[in-house]
Amino acid sequence: MGGQFGFFDVRGRNQRSPCMKALRVLEAEWHITLPQPQRMPRSFGPRLLEAPVPEAVDVPADVRQIKDLKVAVVERAEDVRFGTR
């Protein structure tokens, strides 16, 4: 949304918040009338499980006993998925 009005941050990312603020100011000054906000279903964040997670079985007490365990430092959003680094 903010891109068509030139609302970008220093990294060139689209900035929706300043665009929405400008629209609300125009509405408050009676220059425009905005439609009612639409409530979008949330598709992110934690989700509740249907049932409890079963107890772990045969998990070593010492992490060094886990064969082929890999630990990666996550510094960027692209690194969140397993195996991207």
For residue 82, being part of any structural domain is answered with no
At 41, list the tokens: 């279903």
Q: Which helix (H) or strand (E) holds 65?
A: none
> Per the confidence metrics, is the pTM higher than 0.75?
no
For residue 31, being part of any structural domain is answered with yes
For residue 42, being part of any structural domain is answered with no
**For residue 22, is pLDDT > 70?**
yes
> Is the model more confident about 2 or about 19?
19
For residue 69, being part of any structural domain is answered with no
* Residue-wise pLDDT tens digits, 33-83: 988 877 777 666 677 888 898 998 888 888 888 888 888 787 877 777 654
For residue 12, being part of any structural domain is answered with yes
Q: Following DSSP, what letter does each residue of 6-54 receive, concatenated?
A: T-B-TT--B-HHHHHHHHHHHHHTTS--PPPPP-PPP-SS----SSPPP
Domain count, the chain: 1
* Structural domain containing residue 30: 1-36
